Amino acid sequence: MTWPGIATESASAVAQGAGGARRAVVEWLGRRPYAPLLERQRALQQQVAAGEAPDTLLLVEHDPVVTLGRREDRAGIPVPEALARAGIAVVPTERGGNVTYHGPGQLVAYPILDLRALDEDVVRFMRSLEESIIRTVGDFGIAAGRRRGYPGVWVEEAKIAAVGVAVKRRVTMHGFALNVAPDLAHFSFINPCGLGREVTSMAMVLGRPVPLANVRARTAARFAEVYALDLIPVTRSALVGAAESDSVPAPA
């Protein structure tokens, strides 16, 4: 199947560097634990920096996990015992920001991109991430925007998407988490991003279920639009070896 707005050539075409828009791979990984994806990001970041792999957008839904950014001293986890009782791990990372939660019903995007194409401008990269999210939720009738001084995407006073990245050797990793229809009660275990503000989801704003498959299709299309990329889908995950990964659906 194809995603609207995304190139459908074979993944081998990425390495050929044909004319036109810059090319990158997009891969849907389904639901995965966090730790293997963190290691995969780190490996891909090194490969992209060395010119051994193309720019890549990984899309995934995680098992419940709390991650810490560089500025987090665990003060954003008021009752650590509550996380332990719920079986939710806490994982330190190299991304910017504070504490955040990932879990089922949330679409997480990890762009592994060479920043030289954006003049090594990290702020521009972050604002573009936010713009791609704003356009995505707008496709579903949600008016979202930025809040000065607070990274991420907001619907009025509530945060609908968290953004946090790391850059090494001019290549990005980490990215954003868009709340499609997660269990918002899990956010009560933390002080999201250290802001002490309400968290919302697309399902809550719209008052109806929102299929994650539809959102990931629009997310990829809008990401490609904002970053002027031809995204080439791949259908086999390096994490599962020879097993077939989830197919890429078209939005309803």
The reported pLDDT for the residue numbered 5 is 38
Report yes or no on 158 lying in a domain: yes
Q: Is residue 47 part of a domain?
A: yes
Judging by beta carbons within 10 Å of its beta carbon (0-12, 13-18, 19+), is residue 131 exposed, middle or buried?
Answer: middle
Catalytic residue among 25, 171, 193, 215: 193
In a domain? residue 250: no
Average pLDDT of the chain to the nearest whole number? 82
For residues 118 and 124, the answer to whether their CB atoms sit within 8 Å is yes
Please answer whether residues 169 and 177 qualify as being in contact, where contact means their C-beta atoms are separated by less than 8 angstroms. Answer: no
Residue 42 lies in a domain: yes
Q: How many domains does the chain have?
A: 1
Let me know if residue 82 belongs to a domain.
yes
Q: Going by C-beta distance under 8 Å and a sequence separation of 6 or more, which residues neighbour residue 183?
A: 103, 104, 105
| Contact (CB, 8 A) for 196 and 212 | no
Catalytic residue at 193?
Answer: yes
| pLDDT tens-digit series, residues 169-211 | 999 999 999 999 999 988 887 775 445 578 999 999 999 999 9
Alpha helices in 30-156 (DSSP H): 34-49, 80-86, 122-138
Domain that holds residue 161: 12-240
Sheet holding 99-102, edge to edge: 89-92, 65-68, 99-102
Instruction: Give the residues of the chain that fall short of pLDDT 70.
Output: 1-20, 71-76, 78-79, 192-196, 235-252
Residue 151 sits in a domain whose CATH number is 3.30.930.10
Q: How many CB atoms lie within 10 A of CB 171?
A: 22
